Amino acid sequence: MDLGKKPEARFSDHVYYISNKNINWQDINYCIRRLGKFNVDNRTGIKNTLHRISSINNREGQVVGLTYRVGRAVLGNINIIRDLLEIGHSILILGKPGVGKTTAIREIARILADEIGKRVIIIDTSNEIAGDSDIGHFSIGRARRMQVKHPQLQHQVMIEAIENHMPEVIIIDEISTELEAIAARTIAERGVQLIGTAHGNSLENLIRNFTLSDLIGGIQYVTLGDEEARKRGTQKSILERKSFPTFNIVIEIHQLYSWRIHQDVEQNVDRILQGSRPILQDRFISLDNKHIIKYSQYNNNEIINSNKSKLHSIKEHSNHLLHELVNKNMNINHKIYLYLHSLSYKETQSCIDNMQLPIILTKSLDNANAILGLRIQTKNTPKLREIAKNKKIPIYVISNETIPQLIKVLKNIINSYDFKKVYKNTHIFDSLKEMRMAILNIVLSKNQTVELLPRIAYIRKYQHILAGYFNLYAISVGKEPFRRLRIYPRSLA
């Protein structure tokens, strides 16, 4: 309602004129008398409802326009991210005004308080989440609500909530100042789950917003040395993430039922700053009310989108992917790579061949498991000893390059090598083969969720990596020693 204009009802796709009569002073005053008192940010509400009314004032402070925003509780609108809430990570929701951020966190508060059973406190600065009343709206369930006297005091109320009321979850609407971002970090560092919203279309926008960039770790300029710059293939002055993110997960709401998920904010911020594309999930609700998750992973700037037409190809290449994972990430090795210093390559190789030892001679220290050299030469090469110390590579020495001494030291190297790692990694390999069969036969073929057998944390780490190869979402559930991986299906449409 604007003075001198027709009253409008604005919908997402069209505008409807409520009356052909222009608004006058009497109409404005009639509405104001029936509303609550406007606070310092020119907002008020209607008791026992979720509606919010904002005023437009002239220079003298008189109200010349009113904006009524219809608030409603939509039960079940966040079921599409229910699994993310159960993990217990802090979540930041981004989106333009009116896209449904407040409606989402209102339902999140109810789910966390009533169904998951956590102690939830809402910092309701504008009374938009729980309504303009001392009694919170029924839509927030058992969650408690703290009102804020002045918007500039929101950060103080955030700290007060954690110091006085023992919350497990704190929900904040519209984080917009640097002080609020600092308060959010303080809360997260104390182990409390945070659910918050901020205005912005994407994670990239938040990175460029230096006021709020601390929410995703903060950005700083770093000057690299010449060698490091050459290794990275970048300029010497680059942007890097300053610290760990306050929020582990960022959700971008672009449309009412279409959400984009950054499940690993730390990794995605680093990828964006390095010029790579982030790893994303697109979750949306179809016309037949089905929840669909589409994974988009960017690898060397090539998008890998999983769909039904690629299922046959995935089966053909999955065994290759499993061995690739083993070789790259677990370093399973049945051989010892030996670096020679000041010794004859031919003589040493001859001893290895005659004794049939599992040793391969290498000319690169990066691949070496051990170093063998003459005592005097090794003693006079401090740089070699320094590299070995940094890389934790053992050094073996002999006094003279004779066949008996070479045989003796080669046996010592074999005896001291930890072949238990081979058994340990073989055990990991077997568990990953079992996981691969579950993915192919249940998750991808039947589009069903599957839980694997309980495994120790070390093995679950590599199970998560294998899930990434299939572009599947997996979480660890349960308590030790029964903690296990749960793998969710994705859309193959």
Segment (H or E) for 451: strand 450-451
Q: Please tell me the distance from the alpha carbon of residue 155 to that of residue 143, in angstroms, as a whole number.
A: 19
Pair (60, 95) in one structural domain: no
Q: What pLDDT is recorded for position 320? A: 55
pLDDT tens for the 493 residues of the chain, in order:
999 999 999 987 789 999 999 999 999 999 998 887 888 888 888 888 888 899 999 999 899 999 998 888 888 888 888 888 888 899 999 988 888 888 899 999 999 999 999 999 999 988 889 988 888 899 999 999 999 988 889 999 999 999 999 999 999 988 988 899 999 999 988 889 999 998 888 898 888 888 888 899 888 888 878 777 776 666 777 788 888 899 999 999 987 778 889 988 998 898 888 878 888 888 877 656 666 666 665 433 333 344 444 444 555 555 555 555 555 544 444 578 889 988 888 888 888 888 878 788 888 887 788 899 998 888 888 888 888 888 888 899 998 888 888 888 888 887 776 544 444 455 667 778 788 888 888 887 777 788 888 887 777 887 888 887 777 888 888 887 788 888 887 643 3
Pair (38, 171) in one structural domain: no
Q: What pLDDT is recorded for position 9? A: 94
Q: Is 465 exposed, middle or buried (0-12, 13-18, 19+ CB in 10 A)?
A: middle
The answer to whether residue 310 is domain-embedded is no
Contact between residue 119 and residue 169 where contact means Cβ atoms under 8 Å apart:
yes
Q: What pLDDT is recorded for position 30? A: 92
Q: What pLDDT is recorded for position 248? A: 92
The count of domains in the chain is 4
Amino acid found at 75: L
Peptide bond into 167 cis (omega under 30): no
The answer to whether residue 3 is domain-embedded is no
Task: Output the six-digit token pair for 293.
Answer: 């998750």
- For position 364, which CATH number holds? 3.40.50
- For position 474, which CATH number holds? 3.30.1370.50
Q: Please tell me the distance from the alpha carbon of residue 365 to that of residue 65, in angstroms, as a whole number.
A: 74
Helix (H, G, I), strand (E, B) or coil at 44: strand
The answer to whether residue 303 is domain-embedded is no
Pair (370, 482) in one structural domain: no
Pair (97, 245) in one structural domain: yes
Pair (248, 397) in one structural domain: no
Q: Which of 49, 69, 89 is the last residue of a domain?
A: 69
Pair (171, 270) in one structural domain: yes
- For position 86, which CATH number holds? 3.40.50.300
The answer to whether residue 157 is domain-embedded is yes
Q: Which of 365, 397, 418 is the last residue of a domain?
A: 418
Count the Cβ atoms, other than its own, within 10 Å of residue 147. Answer: 16
Pair (251, 211) in one structural domain: yes
User: What are the b/e assignments for 384-410, b being 16+ CB within 10 Å?
Assistant: beebbeeeebeebbbeeeeeeebeebb
Task: Count how many Cα atoms sit within 13 Å of the Cα of residue 144 in the half-sphere of its side chain.
Answer: 14
Pair (473, 452) in one structural domain: yes
Pair (45, 148) in one structural domain: no
- Which of 391, 390, 393, 409 lies closest to 401 in space, CA to CA? 409
The answer to whether residue 2 is domain-embedded is no
Q: Is 218 exposed, middle or buried (0-12, 13-18, 19+ CB in 10 A)?
A: buried
Pair (240, 278) in one structural domain: yes
Count the Cβ atoms, other than its own, within 10 Å of residue 266. Answer: 15
Give the list of residues 6+ apart from residue 172 with CB closer than 8 angstroms, or none. 123, 154, 158, 180, 184, 194, 195, 196, 197
Contact between residue 145 and residue 136 where contact means Cβ atoms under 8 Å apart:
yes
Q: Which of 418, 438, 469 is the last residue of a domain?
A: 418
Q: What pLDDT is recorded for position 46? A: 86
The answer to whether residue 281 is domain-embedded is yes
CA angle 164, 170, 176 (to 5 degrees): 110
The answer to whether residue 306 is domain-embedded is no
The answer to whether residue 318 is domain-embedded is no
Pair (63, 89) in one structural domain: no
Q: Which residues constitute the domain of residue 159?
A: 79-296
Pair (163, 261) in one structural domain: yes
What ranges make up the beta strands (E) of 49-130?
Answer: 52-57, 63-69, 91-95, 120-124
Q: Please tell me the distance from the alpha carbon of residue 183 to that of residue 424, in angstroms, as a whole number.
A: 44
